[in-house]
Structure 1
Amino acid sequence: MKYIEVDDELYRFIAGKTERIGESASDILRRLLGLASLTVHAEDTPETVSHPGMETSYTPNSLPPITESINFEQLYTANVLEAQKGAVGRFLFVLEALYQQMPQQFEKVLQVQGRDRLYFATSKAALLAASKSANPKEIGNSGYWVTTNNNTGKKHAILLEALEKLGCNETRAHTIADEVLPLA
């Protein structure tokens, strides 16, 4: 399989044309271009998304189904989490899973802020205005953005606070954050 880089706008367009969970970028493009589908499906070989300029990748759309209320037990499975590359990939993956589980309540993560830092926003520009070195990444296709240039310990703290804002009890939030972003 060959890999190509696409800009963020094109990536969002392709991802926005997803019709089923786990559908790969190749499957989406084949469908849009009217080309025959290959017999291998995304469930068999998940497509990994690489973010240009970073050592990070994560597998979007391989998330648990959306439920009425968040089910923290289904947020991730070890094998899917292990497939994510690096701390940023795991961080983005779990944030996307949270958004998929509870899109209406996800705006609560906007309350997660540092004393002088903005960690979440609804635009890349807002994060860059708060910090030129924020390295903002969109959380899936949610319309929410997160700062990714923090060290793993800070990402752990941000994830922990986001989980608690979304209703996860403190003990379970610590367990999830420790698995996703282990501290040393």
Structure 2
Amino acid sequence: MKTIEIDDDLYQYIARQTCHIGEDASSILRRLLAIESYQVTAATPTQFGDFSALVALVKSDEFVNQKKLVNRFLSILAVLYTCNHSLFSVAAASLHGSKRRYLADDEQTLLRSGNNTKPKLIPNTPYWVVTNSNTARKIFIIESLMNTMEVPDYIIGLVKTQFVAK
């Protein structure tokens, strides 16, 4: 392991990107730079899917420059579906609140699950998603799907970071 000197403001930025207690600077930088993701996905995709398309999406200029959070949300969901249709289906079916469904294969199911749900069709999928929720709930939906689909933790961290980054 090497030691480097960095400016205080850069150190503070890296420290603010911590996803969990005890995460070291190398792990944070690997996640932010998606260094490990390219090596792992190119050489050994997980048994459930190759998530390099997800990494490519959140690092793309089109995604980064997208101003509307709902469009970022829909884009991530669409790519997750393409990574593994069957696992996405399992994850979508198991993801719901006590009174509300977040994803369904038809708009009417979501409309019946609550007022002002504003369902939207996830592009290039047969699924609809509730879009009238706050950012925290959107992150919860994305993270829950990724966890069920067994997306590697460092990619989940990258997606969450890029999802809200402006």
TM over 0.5: yes
Give the structure-1-normalised TM-score: 0.57
Q: Distance in 1 between matches of 2:133 and 2:93?
A: 17
Partners of 1:181 and 1:121 in 2: how far apart? 24
Q: What residue in structure 2 maps to residue 165 of structure 1?
A: 148
Q: Distance in 2 between matches of 1:162 and 1:113?
A: 11
Secondary structure at the aligned position of 1:105 is classed as helix
**Partner residue in 2 for 1:87:** 69
Instruction: Please name the residue that 2:98 is paired with.
Output: 115
Q: Distance in 2 between matches of 1:99 and 1:87?
A: 19
CA distance in 2, matches of 1:152, 1:71: 26
Measured in 2, the distance between the counterparts of 1:105 and 1:125 equals: 23
1:176 shift after superposition: 1.2
CA–CA separation in structure 2 for the residues paired with 1:171 and 1:141: 26
> Which stretch shifts more, 103-112 or 146-155?
103-112
Q: Is the 8 A contact 1:122 1:144 kept in 2?
A: yes
Greater helix share, structure number: 2
In structure 1, the gaps of 5 or more residues are 1-67
- 1:71 partner amino acid: D
**What amino acid is aligned across from residue 123 of structure 1 in structure 2?**
D
Amino acid at match of 2:49: I
Find 2:82's aligned residue among 100, 103, 110: 100
Structure 2: which 5+ residue stretches go unaligned? 1-46
1:61-93 Cα shifts (integer Å, max 9, x gaps):
xxxxxxx95322331433131243311000000
Match of 1:35 in 2: none
The Cα shift of 1:171 comes to 4.2
In structure 2, C-alpha distance between the alignment counterparts of 1:145 and 1:88, rounded to whole Å: 13
Structure-1 residue corresponding to 2:120:
137
* 1:126 match: 109
SS state of the match for residue 86, structure 2?
coil
Aligned mates of 1:91, 1:98 — CA distance in 2: 11
Distance 1:158 1:178 in 2: 15
Tell me by how many angstroms 1:148 deviates.
Answer: 0.3
Cα displacement (A) at 1:166: 1.1
